[in-house]
Amino acid sequence: MANSIEQKLRDWVIDAKNVVIAGIGNPIRTDDFVGLKIAEGLQGKVRKTVCLLECETVPESYLLEIEQFHPTHVLLIDAAVLGYTAGTISLVDAKEIMAFTAISSHILPLRVFCEYVKKATGAKIALLLVEPQSVEFGEGLSSEVAVSAKNLTQILLKLLG
């Protein structure tokens, strides 16, 4: 599966000039931390044309920073309960987000956030979603999600490092 996600991400970033990667999640809700974990793993290792943000549960607080970076691509990384096996990775175009009924811990629905970012920047927007094992209060990723986070970090470093 990693190869399929790697190819999808490679195709997605093929014409990228400026990329925003926004790690989203709650650090005290076990697997909901996955987006932040991946963003942390990329810090200091990607090219200057990549803006890394650790948004926690309020990506809307970073709207101005995203706009000022003038991205051609925005990748939101988050945990999402989609009904798959824990650790399953999905790359979803922002236009398709309406088809998903993901359970989210965010104040502003990601659909609304994506619509605003698209209108403000014209960027290509996608969500990189990881199926959590648990989003209960606690620290640390489940083993399945930790493996997915490590694989995604390596793939993104290969593509954007």
How high is the pLDDT of residue 101?
45
Tokens 């399945």 sit on residue: 144
CATH number, domain containing residue 122: 3.40.50.1450
E-assigned strand segments in 36-120: 50-56, 73-79, 89-93
How high is the pLDDT of residue 2?
59
Asked if residues 65 and 53 have their Cβ atoms less than 8 Å apart, the reply is yes
- Host domain of residue 24: 2-160
CA 22 to each of CA 66, 74, 75, 155: distance values in angstroms, whole numbers, following the listed order = 9, 8, 6, 16
Query: Which burial class, exposed, middle or buried, applies to 83 when counting CB atoms under 10 A from its CB (0-12, 13-18, 19+)?
Result: exposed
Looking at the structure of the chain, the number of domains it has is 1
Mean pLDDT by 10 residues, the chain (161 residues): 84 96 94 96 96 93 96 95 93 72 54 88 95 93 97 97 88
How high is the pLDDT of residue 86?
96
How high is the pLDDT of residue 128?
95
Asked if residues 47 and 157 have their Cβ atoms less than 8 Å apart, the reply is no
How high is the pLDDT of residue 20?
98
